[in-house]
Amino acid sequence: MKQNGKYAVTGALAGAANGFFGAGGGLFLVPLLVYWCRVEERRAFATSVAVIFPLSALSAAVYWMQGGLDLAAAWPYLLGGAAGGWVAGRVFRRIDMAWLQRAFGLLLVYGGVRAVLLL
């Protein structure tokens, strides 16, 4: 499969995760970009952020049109998320890649354990 095809499939999987779960597309994107598309890890993290923004906006619009989104309740999270994203984006280059990998792995494990225990 050509590289653009791999990127399209990777994006489709991330979009599906975002649509089904309301988040999580980046959890698919980073490993797929690194191991399947052969994108350098730091670039994969940054690309994931750039891709997830429009996917999240699209998913939010669909939820809103179907009456499943409370915009008034979402504003505090949006403001806090924007502040956190700005700070993280500013320090991203200064953080050791090994630390980012471990933190990402712990986030995956935490999410997996929570998902299993909530069943």
CB 37 within 8 A of CB 1: no
Cα 41 to chain centroid distance, Å, stands at: 14
Domain encompassing residue 8? 3-117
| Whole-angstrom distance, CA of residue 61 vs CA of residue 20 | 14
Residue 119 has pLDDT above 70, yes or no: no
Largest CA distance in the chain: 44
Mean pLDDT over the full length of the chain = 85
Confidence of residue 80 (pLDDT cuts 50, 70, 90): very high
Per residue in 84-114, pLDDT tens? 989 988 998 898 989 988 988 898 888 889 8
Mean pLDDT along residues 10-14: 84
For the chain, how many structural domains are there in total? 1
Q: Is residue 102 exposed (0-12), middle (13-18) or buried (19+ Cβ within 10 Å)?
A: exposed
